[in-house]
C-alpha cells in the first residue's frame, strides 16, 4: 500500500449516470520509467541467458529479451496501483470491479487509462429513530395448545382397514382413470400422467382433497364398488391445460381405511420427550409463544423497513440490482419447484417472476445501503466471535461439522454473507429498540 501512495497521478472524474462514473487517470512518465527500471532489475536477477551465469546477463540484453514480459508486468503493477490511488484520492466507494480501458502506455510517456465504475449511491439518511410500528396483543390460548396437541396426534395416526362404506374423515384407496370430453387427460396435458391414471391411490375424504368435489362423491361406497366421478378443474389449477375444464373419472374403491388417533395418555406424551401430558402441554405452549413472538417481531421489523424506505429515495447501482434480481429469481423458482409447480408453468410465468423479482431486488439493495450507513453512523460492528457463533448455529441446523461448513462457505465467499446477516440483524435490533411501537388488538380473522 505504501508504494502506490507515492505515485504521481492526475485524476479527473466524470458522472456518466447515477452511481456510474468515468475515472480518467494519468501516471507521470517518470513514474512509468521508474517502474520499468525496477522491473528490469527484477528480471535481470533471475534471467538465465546463454553465455552468462544466472543473474549476470547485461541489463540491455535482458530488457530486449524479455521486453514483452517486462511491459506486461509493469502494466499489471502500475494500473491497479494507480487505480487504487485515484479511488482513494477521490474518496469513491466503488461497487464491483471497474471496466478499465488502456489509452496510452510505454517507456518515456505517461500511462493513461480510463476506468468506468459504479459507486455507492449518495443520499441523506432520513430520521431512523422513532420509526412507528404496530404490534398485535395476540396471546397463546388453551385452544391454540389443544390444536397443536391434535396436530401431534395426527402425526401418529394409524390407518385401519374397515369393512363398511366410506365416511367423511376416512381414507379411500382407489384405482382411477380420468378423461375430459372423452379424451385421456394425458392427451390434453402431457405432464398430467398422475392425474390420468393411478392404482392404489390414497384419498382423504375431506372437502377439497385431491381435486375439489372428487372425495365427496366417494362417500357411501364400499370396497369393490365402482363409481363415475365428475369434477370441475379450478380456474387456477396447477396444470394450466386442465384449468377450467370438466373431468370424468372412473373410480374403483379398493379399500376403506379408518383413521385412528392415539389416546392422550402418558405414553403419547413420552413419544414427544415429555414426562406426562401436563409437561407436554407446557412445552407446546412455550413453543407456540416463541413462534408467536418471532412473528410479532418479524411484523414489526418489516413495518420499520417499509417506513424507512418511504422516507428516502435515491438511485441504485445497476449491477447491484441485476445481481440481486438474479438471486431473487433463483429463490422464487426454487420455491416453486419445491411446491411441485411444473417447469413449463414456471417458464410461462417467467416475465411475471422477473418483474416481481426486480421490484423486490431494488428494495433489498436499497435497504442494504441504508443499513450500511446506519451501522457506520451508530458504530454498529460485527465481531469475529459473533460470526463464528452464527456459523456454529447454522452448521448445527444443517447437521454439518463446523469445520466442513466453514470450508464450504469459503469456497463461495459465503463468510461475507454470514457477516452481512449478523450486521443486518444488529441494525434491525437497533431500529426496533428505538422505534415507537403501538400495541393494538388482533385483526379480526378472515372469513
Q: Which residues in the chain show pLDDT less than 50?
A: 1-5
Distances (CA, A) of 25 to 4, 33, 68, 92, 191: 13, 17, 23, 14, 59
Confidence (pLDDT) at 347: 82
pLDDT in tens, 213-238: 999 999 999 999 999 999 999 999 98
DSSP 342-363: -HHHHHHTHHHHHHHHHHHHHH
Grid cell digits, residue 172: 379411500
CATH code that applies to domain 2-119: 3.30.70.1050
Within the chain, all domains assigned CATH 3.10.50.40 are found at: 158-260
How far is the C-alpha of 114 from the C-alpha of 12, rounded, in Å? 10
How far is the C-alpha of 66 from the C-alpha of 81, rounded, in Å? 22
Confidence (pLDDT) at 344: 79
How far is the C-alpha of 339 from the C-alpha of 342, rounded, in Å? 9
Grid cell digits, residue 84: 487504487
CATH code that applies to domain 158-260: 3.10.50.40
Confidence (pLDDT) at 11: 93
pTM for the model stands at 0.75
Within the chain, all domains assigned CATH 3.30.70.1050 are found at: 2-119
The SS3 of residue 10 is: strand
The CA angle 436-441-444, to the nearest 5 degrees, is: 130
Neighbouring C-beta atoms of residue 183, cutoff 10 Å? 10
Distances (CA, A) of 50 to 29, 56, 117: 33, 11, 46
Confidence (pLDDT) at 333: 86
Nearest residue to 389 via CA among 378, 405, 375, 374: 405
Q: What is the CA radius of gyration of the chain?
A: 34
Phi, psi angles (nearest 5°) of residue 380: -90, 115
Amino acid at each position: 500500500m505504501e508504494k502506490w501512495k507515492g505515485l504521481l497521478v492526475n485524476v479527473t472524474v466524470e458522472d456518466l449516470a447515477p452511481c456510474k462514473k468515468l475515472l480518467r487517470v494519468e501516471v507521470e512518465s517518470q513514474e512509468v520509467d521508474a517502474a520499468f527500471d525496477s522491473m528490469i532489475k527484477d528480471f535481470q536477477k533471475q534471467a538465465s541467458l546463454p553465455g552468462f551465469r544466472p543473474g549476470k546477463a547485461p541489463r540491455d540484453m535482458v530488457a530486449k529479451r524479455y521486453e514483452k514480459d517486462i511491459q506486461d508486468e509493469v502494466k499489471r503493477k502500475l494500473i491497479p496501483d494507480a487505480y487504487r490511488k485515484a479511488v482513494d484520492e477521490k474518496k469513491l466507494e466503488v461497487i464491483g470491479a471497474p471496466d478499465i480501458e488502456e489509452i496510452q502506455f510505454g517507456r518515456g510517456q505517461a500511462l493513461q487509462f480510463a476506468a468506468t465504475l459504479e459507486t455507492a449511491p449518495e443520499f441523506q439518511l432520513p430520521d431512523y429513530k422513532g420509526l412507528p410500528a404496530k404490534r398485535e396483543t395476540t396471546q397463546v390460548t388453551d385452544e391454540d395448545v389443544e390444536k397443536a396437541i391434535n396436530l401431534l396426534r395426527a402425526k401418529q395416526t394409524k390407518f385401519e382397514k374397515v369393512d363398511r362404506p366410506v365416511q367423511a374423515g376416512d381414507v379411500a384407496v382407489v384405482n382411477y382413470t380420468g378423461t375430459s370430453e372423452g379424451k385421456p387427460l394425458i392427451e390434453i396435458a402431457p405432464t398430467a400422467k398422475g392425474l390420468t391414471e393411478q392404482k392404489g391411490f390414497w384419498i382423504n375424504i375431506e372437502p377439497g382433497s385431491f381435486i375439489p368435489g372428487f372425495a365427496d362423491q366417494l362417500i357411501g361406497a364400499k370396497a369393490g364398488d365402482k363409481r363415475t366421478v365428475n369434477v370441475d378443474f379450478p380456474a387456477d389449477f396447477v396444470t394450466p391445460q386442465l384449468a377450467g375444464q370438466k373431468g370424468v373419472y372412473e373410480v374403483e374403491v379398493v379399500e376403506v381405511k379408518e383413521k385412528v388417533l392415539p389416546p392422550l395418555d402418558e405414553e403419547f406424551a413420552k413419544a414427544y420427550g415429555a414426562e406426562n401430558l401436563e409437561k407436554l402441554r407446557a412445552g407446546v405452549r412455550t413453543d407456540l409463544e416463541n413462534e408467536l413472538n418471532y412473528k410479532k417481531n418479524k411484523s414489526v421489523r418489516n413495518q420499520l423497513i417499509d417506513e424507512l424506505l418511504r422516507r428516502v429515495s435515491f438511485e441504485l447501482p445497476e449491477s447491484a440490482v441485476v445481481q440481486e434480481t438474479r438471486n431473487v429469481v433463483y429463490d422464487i423458482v426454487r420455491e416453486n419447484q419445491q411446491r411441485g409447480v411444473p417447469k413449463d408453468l414456471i417458464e410461462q410465468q417467467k416475465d411475471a417472476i422477473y418483474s416481481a423479482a426486480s421490484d423486490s431486488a431494488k428494495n433489498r439493495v436499497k435497504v442494504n445501503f441504508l443499513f450500511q450507513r446506519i451501522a457506520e453512523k451508530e458504530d454498529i460492528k460485527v465481531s469475529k466471535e459473533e460470526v463464528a457463533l452464527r456459523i456454529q448455529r447454522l452448521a448445527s441446523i444443517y447437521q454439518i461439522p463446523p469445520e466442513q461448513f466453514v470450508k464450504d462457505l469459503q469456497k463461495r465467499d459465503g463468510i461475507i454473507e454470514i457477516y452481512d446477516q449478523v450486521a443486518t440483524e444488529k441494525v434491525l435490533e437497533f431500529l426496533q429498540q428505538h422505534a415507537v411501537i403501538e400495541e393494538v388488538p388482533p385483526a379480526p380473522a378472515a372469513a
